Amino acid sequence: MNNSIRCYVGLGSNLGDRVENLRRAVALLGEMPGTRVIRTSAVYETAPWGYVDQPAFLNAVAELETTLGAIQLVSVLQSIELALGRTRTFRWGPREIDLDLLLYGESMMARRGLSVPHTSMAERAFVLAPLAELRPDYRAPNGESVARLLERLGRGQDIKRLADSLVVSPVR
């Protein structure tokens, strides 16, 4: 695609059929105008982060190529969440699907409702582990590698890579 940007979207689900929620989200990502799903990470099961009195999450990262601008992309991600039944309750609460723009090319931006790289990415093993599969060369704005960021989190966040048969793949 001409003038396309490589970006990475975090996916999470802890309500309903979590695997199916992730698969449907990836399928809808691939249907976005000017967008193509390149590949996805394995699926990881993780304990809830922030508010912990809720079911475990399944998380993955999708690598996309898009001609959409960052703000337009976030708007489409939010419409996909709504289409898949997400209802916003409270911060870090349970959800059918959560889609977060993690990286948008090499851009760094902070605008109302949008921070790229995602502001909490370096604190979340459930984002870093799948991102490391797809972008092992990633370095945070402070210069730390994704491997170093994960190492720094240590055992504080339990994360379990699920069998390859549960790898989310784009539906075409």
At a CB cut-off of 8 Å and minimum separation 6, what does 62 contact?
8, 9, 11, 26, 29, 37, 39, 40, 41, 168
Q: Is 6 a catalytic residue?
A: no
The one catalytic residue in 18, 23, 24, 95 is 95
Amino acid letter for position 43: V
Alpha-helical regions (H) of the chain: 18-30, 70-83, 125-134, 146-153
Query: Residue 20 pLDDT more than 90?
Result: yes
- The first and second tokens of residue 97, run together, are 């699907």
The DSSP secondary-structure symbol of 98 reads: E
Q: Is 98 a catalytic residue?
A: yes
- The first and second tokens of residue 63, run together, are 């690598």
- The first and second tokens of residue 148, run together, are 């170093």
> Exposed, middle or buried, 48 (CB in 10 Å: 0-12/13-18/19+)?
middle
pLDDT of residue 112: 76
Q: Is 95 a catalytic residue?
A: yes
User: Quick one: which of 18, 172, 34 has its CA closest to 98?
Assistant: 18
Q: How far is CA 31 from the centre of its chain?
A: 17
Q: Indicate yes or no: pTM above 0.85.
A: yes
Q: Stretch 117-144: mean pLDDT, rounded?
A: 88
The one catalytic residue in 6, 100, 148, 161 is 100
End-to-end Cα separation, the chain, in angstroms: 17
Q: Stretch 38-58: mean pLDDT, rounded?
A: 87
pLDDT tens for each residue of 88-129: 665 666 888 999 999 999 888 888 778 888 778 888 888 999
**Domains of the chain with CATH codes:** 5-166 (3.30.70.560)
Cα atoms in the 13 Å half-sphere on the side-chain side of 11: 30
